[in-house]
Amino acid sequence: MEQKRISIRRRIQIIIFLMMIALIITIGAVVIMSMLHIKHNAEHVLVRRMEYNLSNTVHNKADFASAQFKRFTSYTATLQEYINDLYAHPENYSEREILPPNMDQKDVYTTKRYIADKSISYRELEKECKLLGNVENLFMPIIMQNSEEILAVYVSTESGIQISTDGDSDITANEDGSEVYFDYFERPWYKMAKEKNEISFTNVYEDTFKRGYMITCAAPIYDAENKFAGVVCIDMLIDNLYSTLVDFDVMEGEGDYAFLIDGNGYAVAPEYSGMNVKNDEKITDEISDKMLSGESGVALSSSSIYYAFAPIEGIDWTMCLHVPQKTVLAPVHDIDIMVQASIALLFFIFIFVAIFMTFMVRRFALSITEPLYALRQDANIISSGDLSHKAKVYYNDEVGDLAMSINNMAASLSDYVENLTAVTAEKERIGTELGVATQIQADMLPRIFPPFPEKKEFDLYATMDPAKYVGGDFYDFFLIDDDHLCMVMADVSGKGVPAALFMVIAKTLIKNRATMGGTPSEILSYTNEQLCEGNDAELFVTVWIGILEISTGKGIAANAGHEHPVIMRAGGDYELVKYRHSMAVATIPGIRFNEHEFELHPGDRLFVYTDGVPEATNADNVLFGDERMLEVLNSHKECTVKDILVEMKKSIDLFVGKAPQFDDITMLMLYYYGNEG
């Protein structure tokens, strides 16, 4: 029996009509049920949503606060390391005179000195004070870059001298500009750093000079004999700290705000906040134990206040949000009225739509089918291969969009055919240029081994495997004269082309200066000054450089923030040689670099490398590490200098597996035979 033919137009009319009816019924039922559900569960939904939002908000704010406190901790750690180096190596620093505070320097950030007690003479402390005057190099940038949070940066010594950088000279200065005495030994920050012997934050306390409530990040410092020498501190006013960390409205309602609680249970809030908590008052609500327990959560107090709280990592403080219950439940009554009005309005809209829909379906079906027929013909022509044909756009609707899409597709196909060859050629050109860049960088490094066949006193081999097409690591070795061999192992911060360009400059500067003569310290000092000029990209390079007297095996090395070298004595094991490093090259102008003497005997080996070796990481984020590196070296003691580097690279590749190479891997091995060859 032949099936009755139904036109597309009729099918569209029937389908659209049935779909519209079903859609109206479905939407109406869902909307009404949803409204009734919201009406009966509005309070529960609002409370749960509020708790969820408050929990997210307090955790996000706690994480932000933790990051800020870690930033202050990082500043303090940097200052601690710098001052420890001042005491350990005073000969590396020049003396700088620091004067008492001056009343004419009101609201001007300056560095000044204070003495702890009148019984202490400045002349007794003059040499130490002038040495500590160098801290202005770090104090001033830190406070200027963080003036909205940091009030003062200072160092207070056990001997009785304090060097401070702040903008409050007019508060502390004497009118005649004479010495100012400030007994800081009993201040909470001094006692805390001395007792804890680590970087710590104080709880809230009132400032000695009546500038308000504040907290202090303090760290102990040590002299050249590693004895306690004092503390270095960063002061922050609560008002400034609050504005940075927690000054915001929680729900834009009356009575909602955020505040901090310190380790003693005291609220941390500015004087201007208008809150019902003060800095010298403890939180005494019945849920205060939960808030101070180190856990996070949302709780409703007996006073109808919602508290959201979360601990701040790195400091024994808590972030809290305060939201009155009435603020949360205020919309419930309004929702009830709106639900009733919406249900009534929805009923009348459904009746009107059902009547209007019957009339519009027919018109709609006609407007769709006619251009579809024409569009089918256009599509057949284009699909046959005539990409120049254009489909006619009848209406500015989805069918019109489809016609335009077909036209765009035809044009795109035509352009694609034309551009495919050009794109392919461009990709080949880029790949060729990167390959040339890789080859150029490889050609800059010594690659002929053995490098000095006429020298029988030693054998040497080195490799460099970049993480990208080009890398920032480099090695170098060359004869300064017939009896002195210079070896360099360096790692530029960053990856790719910028690091490679910086590597070229650093390598050239080091080699040019070394060939002129001088010690490793002088070579690095010259290179540091040159690289610091115009270093807008703020790149730096860690360097190990050693100069070996070939005839005697004696050498001098300098380590600018680089990895520890490894030495194997004849008949012994490979071991790390650890000593105090200097700062990396291109960080701060004017720094001096420490030198370390060493001596190689016949049969000894020297292995230097970049951090790409111990920091090679597998898919489980586990580092290759120094222990595995030493294990590989000690497992191949009898190998040649070339073979042992090959075995090291194989071991790293086996450990890393399918994980991508994160950093450049550069190694150099020297075997010293001595004069007997």
Nearby residues of 7 by Cβ (< 8 Å), 6 or more positions away:
none
Calpha distance 521→116 (Å, rounded): 38
Check residues 77 and 261 and name the one with the higher pLDDT.
Answer: 77
Gyration radius of the chain's alpha carbons: 37
**Mean of pLDDT over the chain:** 83
Non-local (6+) Cβ contacts of 249 within 8 A are 256, 257
Reported as type and span, the H/E element at residue 36 is helix 8-88
pLDDT of 129 strictly over 70: yes
For the residues 14-27, what does the mean pLDDT come to?
75
Range with the largest mean pLDDT of 149-158, 313-322, 426-435, 640-649: 640-649
pLDDT at 338: 73
Examine the pLDDT at 135 and tell me if it is beyond 80: yes
Task: Quote the pLDDT of residue 130.
Answer: 92
What local confidence, expressed as pLDDT, does residue 430 receive? Answer: 60
Contact 659, 590 (CB under 8 A): no
Beta bridge partners of 214: 205, 237
CB-based burial, 48-77: b 16+ in 10 Å, e otherwise: eebbebbbebbeebbeebbebbeebbebbe
Interval 652-660 mean pLDDT: 92
Give backbone dihedrals phi and psi of 136, rounded to 5 degrees, phi first: -60, -25
Which amino acid is located at 523 in the chain? I
Confidence of residue 229 (pLDDT cuts 50, 70, 90): very high
pLDDT exceeds 90 at position 536: no
| Predicted local confidence at residue 356, as pLDDT | 74
d(CA 275, CA 321): 12
Residue 235's alpha-carbon distances to 98, 113, 139, 155, 211, in angstroms, are 20, 16, 12, 11, 11
* pLDDT tens per residue across span 347-378: 777 777 777 777 676 666 666 666 766 767 77
pLDDT at residue 469 is higher than 70: no
H/E run at residue 496: helix 496-515
Q: How far apart are CA 237 and CA 247, in angstroms?
A: 14
Please state the rounded mean pLDDT for residues 553-576: 95
Give the Cα separation of 265 and 288 in Å (integer): 8
Q: What is the pLDDT of residue 333?
A: 62
Count other Cβ atoms within 10 Å, centred on residue 417. 10
Structure-token match 């002088």, residue found: 522
Average pLDDT over residues 115-127: 90
Every domain of the chain and the residues it spans: 89-241, 385-444, 446-672
Predicted pLDDT at 298: 83
Instruction: Write the burial class of residue 181 (CB in 10 Å: 0-12 exposed, 13-18 middle, 19+ buried).
Output: middle
**DSSP 8-state secondary structure symbol assigned to residue 98:** -
| Mean pLDDT, residues 387-404 taken together | 69
For residue 110, which amino acid is it? T
Same CATH fold assignment for domains 89-241 and 446-672: no
Q: pLDDT grade, residue 511 (50/70/90)? A: very high
CATH match of 89-241 with 3.30.1120.130: no
- Selection from 213, 234, 48, 225 nearest residue 141 by Cα: 234
Q: What is the pLDDT of residue 331?
A: 66
pLDDT of 603 reads 94
CA distances from 145 to 76, 151, 240, 373, 379 (A): 14, 12, 14, 69, 65
For residue 608, which of 516, 466, 468, 473 has the smallest C-alpha distance? 473
**Would the pLDDT of 522 be above 60?**
yes
Taking residue 560's Cβ as centre, other Cβ atoms within 10 Å add up to 27
CA atoms within 13 A on the CB side of 568: 26
Q: Are 668 and 608 in contact (CB under 8 A)?
A: yes
pLDDT surpassing 80 at residue 197: yes
Lookup: tokens for 635: 């497992």
High-pLDDT (> 70) share of the chain, %: 81
With beta carbons less than 8 A apart as the criterion, state whether 600 and 570 touch: no
**Cα 358 versus chain centre, distance:** 62
Nearest alpha-carbon partner for 531 in 505, 511, 504, 513: 505
For residue 337, what is the enclosing H or E element? helix 331-383
Does the pLDDT value for residue 441 go beyond 70?
no
pLDDT at 411: 75
Q: What are phi and psi of 187, to 5 degrees?
A: -70, 145
Maximum CA extent, the chain: 121
Examine the pLDDT at 69 and tell me if it is beyond 60: yes
Q: How far is Cα 96 from Cα 577, in angstroms, rounded to an integer?
A: 35
Is residue 255 over pLDDT 90? no
61-75, 109-123, 136-150, 288-302: segment of lowest average pLDDT: 288-302
Cis peptide before 450 (omega within 30 of 0): yes
Say if strands 605-609 and 566-568 run parallel, antiparallel, or are unpaired: antiparallel
pLDDT of residue 676: 76
Distance CA 64, CA 312 (A): 9
CATH (one of 3.60.40.10, 3.40.50.261, 3.40.309.10, 3.40.800.20) for 446-672: 3.60.40.10
Residue 515 has pLDDT above 70, yes or no: yes
Structure confidence at residue 434 as a pLDDT band (50, 70, 90): low
DSSP strands (E only) in 352-429: none
Q: What is the pLDDT of residues 29-57, one digit of tens each?
A: 777 777 666 666 666 777 777 777 778 88
